[in-house]
Copies of this chain bind each other. A is one copy, B any other.
Amino acid sequence: MKTSSQNHSVEKDSFEKPILTVDVAYLSIRGGELEILTIKRDKAPHEGELALPGGYVHCDEDEDLSETARRVIAEKTQLEPDYIEQVETIASRSRDPRGWTATVLFMALVSDSKRGEDDKLGKDCQWVALGGLKRKSLAFDHGELLSKVKERLVAKSRYTSIPLYLLPKEFTLSEAQKYFEITTQSTLEKKSFRRRLLDADIIEETGEQTKTGKRKAALYRNKNDSNVHFFPRMIG
Contacts and interface: CB of A to CB of B under 8 A. Distances in A.
A12 interface: yes
B8 A19 contact: no
Given A65-B91, A102-B20, A15 B59 contact: yes
Interface stretch (A92-100, A182-190, A201-209): A92-100
A59 B100 contact: yes
A57 B1 contact: no
A5 to B, nearest CB: 6
Interface in A1-59: 1-2, 4-13, 15-23, 39, 41, 43, 51, 54-59
Given A59-B93, A89-B65, A19 B10 contact: yes
A59 B4 CA distance: 16
Interface string A101-124: 111100000000000000010101
A160 interface: no
A23 B58 CA distance: 22
Given A9-B22, A17-B18, 11 more contacts: A4-B75, A6-B75, A6-B122, A8-B41, A15-B58, A16-B60, A20-B20, A59-B99, A64-B90, A65-B89, A232-B234
